[in-house]
């Protein structure tokens, strides 16, 4: 597990406290017979939006008169183990670092045996719709991540 964003693997794995299940769809495979490499990013997004719903953040961003939306600044995935049709994965999510207007989200996909198949990370930035510029978190939002981090720590 050579990903640069993982120092101690066991510690990193223990840091996750939220996960959602996904089943690999037939349409998500490719002619090499496995999960296509582009699909884990849709799993990451699904897990991230469920996590943001869990924190209560997603609801605010989806309101019609919300002045801000979350945007993905960067995203990466390491493919540790091939994944196949019909596998049941758990996509784990955690907030790793909270900045002024951004947050680093980490991802881990495990199969039924608990084996790590995918790991990943990416920065989410809160953006003001009107200006397209980054918008600092409210203190209450930062605390949401903080509590989440405590809950999983």
The 38-67 contact track toward a copy of itself, x by CB under 8 A, reads: x--xx--xx--x---x--------x-----
Cβ proximity to a copy of itself: between 71 and 147 the closer is 71
Q: Which of 13, 18, 36, 90 binds a copy of itself (CB under 8 A)?
A: 36
Q: Residue 91: name the closest of 16, 11, 35, 12 by CA.
A: 16
Residue 106, strand partner residues? 94, 121
Q: Which of 51, 78, 104, 141 binds a copy of itself (CB under 8 A)?
A: 78
Return the residues of window 103-132 that contact a copy of itself according to CB under 8 A: 132
Q: Residue 152: name the closest of 51, 75, 58, 82 by CA.
A: 51
Q: Which of 13, 29, 101, 128 binds a copy of itself (CB under 8 A)?
A: 29
d(CA 113, CA 96): 25
Q: Does 101 help bind a copy of itself (rule: CB under 8 A)?
A: no
Question: Min. distance of Cβ 150 from a copy of itself in angstroms?
Answer: 26
d(CA 117, CA 79): 6
Kindly provide the residue ranges of all beta strands, DSSP E only, lying in the chain, ordered along the sequence. Answer: 18-23, 68-79, 88-98, 102-110, 116-128
Which residue ranges make up the site for a copy of itself (CB under 8 A)?
3, 23, 25-27, 29-34, 36-38, 41-42, 45-46, 49, 53, 62, 69, 71-79, 82, 85-86, 132
């Amino acid at each position: 597990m050579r990903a640069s964003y993982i120092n101690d693997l066991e510690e990193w794995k223990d840091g996750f406290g939220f996960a959602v299940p996904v089943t690999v769809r037939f349409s998500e495979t490719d002619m090499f017979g496995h999960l296509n490499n582009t699909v884990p990013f849709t799993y990451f997004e699904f897990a991230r939006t469920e996590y943001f719903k869990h924190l209560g953040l997603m609801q605010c961003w989806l309101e019609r008169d919300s002045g801000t939306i979350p945007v993905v600044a960067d995203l990466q995935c390491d493919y540790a183990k091939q994944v196949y049709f019909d596998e049941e994965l758990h996509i784990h999510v955690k907030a790793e670092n909270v900045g002024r207007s951004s947050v680093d989200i980490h991802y881990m996909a495990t199969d039924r045996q608990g084996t790590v198949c995918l790991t990943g990370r990416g920065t989410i930035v809160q953006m003001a719709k009107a200006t397209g510029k980054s918008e600092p978190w409210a203190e209450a939002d930062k605390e949401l991540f903080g509590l989440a981090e405590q809950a999983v720590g």
